């Protein structure tokens, strides 16, 4: 599967950090088959990364169960500001 706007070059996935950086794409089915296989091979030898994946899944499920009205406006503003600030920093 080709990812829009992304290189088709296969990334080297060896460290926990590499796996953590790809978890969202992994969960959404956005990895190339080779990348997915590397991530799953890493899971086979790294229980902490499997636990992190399960925690992320649980967190996503909990967040999705919240309605927008359940999140106070101030919390939404704080989160939006935090994300904007960190996305700008990450791109730099």
**Which residues in the chain come in under a pLDDT of 50?**
1-5, 7
Task: State pLDDT tens for residues 69-79.
Answer: 777 889 989 99
pTM (predicted TM-score): 0.60
Q: What b/e sequence results for 32-61 when a residue is b if at least 16 CB atoms lie within 10 Å of its CB, and e otherwise?
A: beebbebbeebeeeeeebeebbeeeeeeee
Chain centroid, CA 53 distance in Å = 9
Residues 41, 14: contact at Cβ < 8 Å? Answer: no
Task: State pLDDT tens for residues 60-70.
Answer: 999 888 876 77
State the Cα–Cα distance between residues 9 and 65, nearest whole angstrom.
36
């Amino acid at each position: 599967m080709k990812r829009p706007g992304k290189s088709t070059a296969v990334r080297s996935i060896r460290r926990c950090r590499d796996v953590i950086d790809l978890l969202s794409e992994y969960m959404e089915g956005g990895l190339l088959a080779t990348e997915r296989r590397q991530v799953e091979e890493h899971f086979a030898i790294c229980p902490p990364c499997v636990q992190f994946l399960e925690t992320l899944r649980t967190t996503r499920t909990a967040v999705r169960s919240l309605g927008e009205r359940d999140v106070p406006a101030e919390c939404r503003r704080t989160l939006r500001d935090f994300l904007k600030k960190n996305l700008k920093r990450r791109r730099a």
